[in-house]
Structure 1
């Protein structure tokens, strides 16, 4: 089955010693990867990009976001995205593995930051000029440090990244509707749930299965998902299945029946019925409309 390409950090900067981190001036990065960025693709790392100039569209898992000066985007491993620019963008981009960050902070996780604790949270924030100025300095310092060979450069980079994430989290919480009342235990369980769904969604569709995997009751798991995301466990499972269905329907040339089978639906008619009930389009209608 044809799949969406997944990019690895080492594909971008093989000559660098920091194989779990990459940074670049955005204009240079896009020029070096001009054959990649405008086509749908995935990453196996966390990505953060800050726009100082330019305009266009950033599509992430079938949701489109406007790019403008002050836009900052966050991507987690596995998300499908591409860029379409109307004006030449400028700014900074960096990406890294989970271990790169968490190795240096034994008591901190990337999922503590609101833009990373769930795939359901918006993957962007729009900064004002006042907020952008100090963050631009941090992004610039990260990039300068990455392209130099100085003592303790990895320690300095991860410290700067931490400062960027802290400042962006404060602004993100104020701008986005996030559930600040959620306890750390709830957020940790939500993260474990999303990881478990990722591993089993093609074969397991019931909330009971995931509750048992997490050693809690179905009722309590629903309480956690409703508190953190205002969604039921079943809704999260269904959304993950539909997202993968959309990816395969649009970004591959596989038959629609094969797409259904790969997601655990042997009966294509039933798969088409489920898909239409959630999207109001059949798989074929969705493929034709998106490609047009």
Structure 2
């Protein structure tokens, strides 16, 4: 292997936020270990190369580096900014599906130039203070994280979104904005006026996951929410998610989560 694989998270961390290290100017090409890295730069000049494509650094600017991407920095002036790291396991643990959708949506991006930075910088500062405080509150930092991700999307230059990214984003919107999920990729491909094969290719390109894997994550997230926040019987939850019977839902849930729905509900409530 000709490149380094870096891991900036402790084993029990799923999210980390820290100031961009001012001494980081030039790095060798490396990848990350199972996490998305979002880098906000407010100062600095030079280039950032991601998958052999070089981007000029012109703050305010955000870079998104997925675990499968090779990248390196060549910064010529003192940088300032914030680094946000989100582990892949995060989307399987959080119950706020809007937050999941925002993370998934931004993970399809590579670079965004921002029109306005003050409000985003303020939220990042509050997030940094909360997560690195003596007694961080998950409710608080999840709310701040959701706010900053939403503002990034809102403030970003929409011309930066590729067509493939737009289709991927539309797929996520169908999954996370829907009141009822259908466990069938072809159903969503038809709604997007594409084929299951093309949707699968787009998901692989944008997220390095199949369309069915992304659908499974959405179904499991919705199942966990209903198990924790409703009193619906397990068979009714399985039925609402399109499973043919309770035993099929129980096997599916245990295969992916490691617990049966009933056990998951008992340890989560």
TM-score, normalised with respect to structure 1: 0.54
1:140-187 CA-partner distances (Å, limit 9, x unpaired): 1121222211251x3322221111111112233633244597487745
The aligned runs of 1:199-238 (5 Å cut-off) are: 223-224=194-195, 233=201
Instruction: Flag structure 1 segments of 5+ consecutive residues without an equivalent.
Output: 190-213, 241-292
Partner of 1:94: 84
1:171-218 CA-partner distances (Å, limit 9, x unpaired): 3363324459748774589xxxxxxxxxxxxxxxxxxxxxxxx9759x
Q: Give the Cα–Cα distance (whole angstroms) in 2 for the partners of residues 4 and 175 of structure 1.
A: 32
Q: Give the Cα–Cα distance (whole angstroms) in 2 for the partners of residues 40 and 51 of structure 1.
A: 19
The one of 11, 20, 23 equivalent to 1:26 is 20
1:25-44 CA-partner distances (Å, limit 9, x unpaired): 1135x45xx7xx61111112
SS in 2 for 1:93: strand
Partner of 1:243: none
Partner of 1:164: 148
1:63-121 CA-partner distances (Å, limit 9, x unpaired): 111112201111222211111001110111120213335523343435765332x4xx4
Contact persistence 2:36–2:65 (CA under 8 A): yes
Q: Give the Cα–Cα distance (whole angstroms) in 2 for the partners of residues 97 and 22 of structure 1.
A: 9
Report the number of matched residues: 192
TM-score, normalised with respect to structure 2: 0.58
**Superposed CA RMSD:** 3.9
Partner of 1:4: 3
Q: Give the Cα–Cα distance (whole angstroms) in 1 for the partners of residues 128 and 57 of structure 2.
A: 21
Q: Give the Cα–Cα distance (whole angstroms) in 1 for the partners of residues 4 and 89 of structure 2.
A: 22
Q: Give the Cα–Cα distance (whole angstroms) in 2 for the partners of residues 96 and 215 of structure 1.
A: 26
